[in-house]
A and B are shown apart, each in its own frame.
Chain A
Amino acid sequence: MDNAYEALADEGEEKHWAFGTGFTAALTGVDRALPAGVERADLVVYCLMLGDDALIHAQRLAEWCSRAPELEEDVALANIALDLLGQARLLLSRAAEVEDAGRDEDALAYLRDEREFRNVRLVEIDCGPGPGGDFATTIARLLVFSSWRLAVFQRLTASADPVLAAVAAKGIKELAYHRDHAAQWVLRLAGGTDYSRERMIAGLTQVWAYTDELFTTHPVETALGGVAVDPADVRAEVAEVLDTVLSAAELDRPEVTQVAALAGRAGRDGVHTQALGHLLAELQHVARSMPGAVW
């Protein structure tokens, strides 16, 4: 049988490619009209909210690469991270373009400070692989996050913003795979040994304290009627999905006190846990210490 990848090994082939800088802007050639009646500043913030969720979660998932419980899982988590990074690139590019202040997707990812990030705290908390985290906690977060984002994106496909609608339509297919992957791990860990079950319960309990923020309507989401999705609308649907998984795994929904916001402000307003600063230090280090570096 022919090797499908033989052509990639041709000597002297100039078309080989490698990763580096110099990627074309993510929205090159995409229809990017601004919907009528939309306040630019609001749309920028909304794109950052959804884009930062994806960027920060992608970074957390990528931390597992080479440290997951099995090789296939290294690949799976890296693939999921790559999907989210792709969504982040499109959304940050949209934010940069609508903002029209000379920043691009890289400037938004690498040169913003912690207080300017709009992600929910759920995606930034440290769920491992380092101390204080666990693979089961990472899976619990992936289940909650992808179930929530899938429900939001399904509604976002009807957005009046053509870019958001298109990003969402692509994203839902990816997110459905992410959610199912996490759900299957929850069953596997909960139905494994007493020890794996205990860790799955601990993981769910740890991330559950950050779930309320996902369903709290932000003023920008109210202002952008027809463009944004009100996350309060997906609460029941997401709860049903999570309950289905938990009941199949014979687990109870965790009863935990939610981590409080600071005077009503949390991740969406740039008020984060201390974990985000550490994450950004790693994410932004090279770009900030060698401004403009290319390779």
Chain B
Amino acid sequence: MVSAREIVSAVVDPELPVLTLADLGVLRDVREEGGRVVVTITPTYSGCPALDEMRADLRADLVEAGYSDIEIRTVLHPAWTTDWISDAGLRKLADHGIAPPQRIGPRAVGPIPLTLEPPARRVPCPRCGSVDTTELSRFGSTACKALRRCEDCREPFEQIKEL
């Protein structure tokens, strides 16, 4: 029998199918407790509608592999951050035309400063590599993405925004 961890690690994200849930960092824990498989996941955004689908996909793949006693837990704390996307995940995103987020690192405590200008940092175009790109919209096709355009190759592209 394939280990539960192996099965669970292969389940892909329902909205970003190039990433596994493990790559995305939403898979927090997998353990087998006396025949029962306990999987712990965390949502990316509070309103992420994919969470139910993730639960269903995890369950379906575990059932297919012969497991029957399955519990999928959700944790809200600590809150997901794009820093949890694995290095492999960042590479896969870039390979598929989605600009990966930058690493944020530990956050300063205290009030979050206001940003009155779109971030000045340069996001390279995942197609041609040019850094001459513009933010079209801070909010893209899903909660976790922004929409940008490359001013050199003129192609629009998506960017996973830092959270």
Chain A residues with CB under 8 Å of chain B are 1-8, 15, 17, 19, 22-24, 27-31, 72-73, 75-76, 78-80, 82-87, 89-90, 150-151, 154, 162-163, 165-167, 169-174, 176-177, 179-181, 183-184, 187, 237, 241, 244-245, 248
Contact = CB atoms under 8 A, between A and B. Distances in A.
Contacts of B117: 184
A30 B111 contact: no
B76 A30 contact: yes
A19 B43 CA distance: 17
Interface of B: 12, 14, 16-18, 40, 43, 45-53, 55-57, 60, 71-81, 93, 95-98, 111-112, 114-118, 126-127, 136-141, 143, 147, 158, 161, 163
A245 B116 contact: yes
B57 A15 contact: yes
14 contacts: A3-B97, A4-B16, A4-B93, A7-B17, A17-B50, A28-B73, A29-B72, A154-B112, A166-B76, A171-B46, A174-B45, A177-B138, A241-B111, A241-B114
A27 B45 CA distance: 14
A181 B78 CA distance: 25
A47 B45 CA distance: 19
4 smallest beta-carbon distances between A and B, as pairs:
A86-B47, A86-B46, A29-B73, A166-B76
Contacts of A172: 112
Contact of B143 (A28, A83, A169, A184): A83
Nearest to B72: A29
A76 B52 CA distance: 23
Given A75-B147, A82-B143, 5 more contacts: A17-B53, A17-B56, A86-B43, A163-B76, A174-B45
B161 to A, nearest CB: 8
Given A84-B47, A162-B77, A4 B98 contact: yes
A124 B40 CA distance: 37
A184 B76 CA distance: 30
Given A2-B97, A15-B60, A241-B114, A80 B139 contact: yes
A179 B114 contact: yes
Main secondary structure of the interface of A (DSSP, over half): helix
A83 B45 contact: yes
B75 A29 contact: yes
Nearest to A175: B112
Contacts of B72: 28-29
A86 B143 CA distance: 11
Contacts of A17: 14, 50, 52-53, 56
A24 B138 CA distance: 29
A23 B55 CA distance: 11
Contact of B118 (A85, A184, A248): A184
B26 to A, nearest CB: 12
Nearest to B75: A30
Nearest to B155: A1
Given A29-B73, A162-B77, A176-B112, A86 B139 contact: no
B136 to A, nearest CB: 6
A177 to B, nearest CB: 7
Nearest to A241: B114
Nearest to A80: B139
A75 B140 contact: yes
Given A24-B55, A169-B79, A173-B163, A86 B48 contact: yes
Given A169-B77, A172-B112, A5 B17 contact: yes
A202 to B, nearest CB: 22
Contacts of B50: 17
Given A7-B12, A171-B46, A245-B116, A76 B137 contact: yes
A95 to B, nearest CB: 16
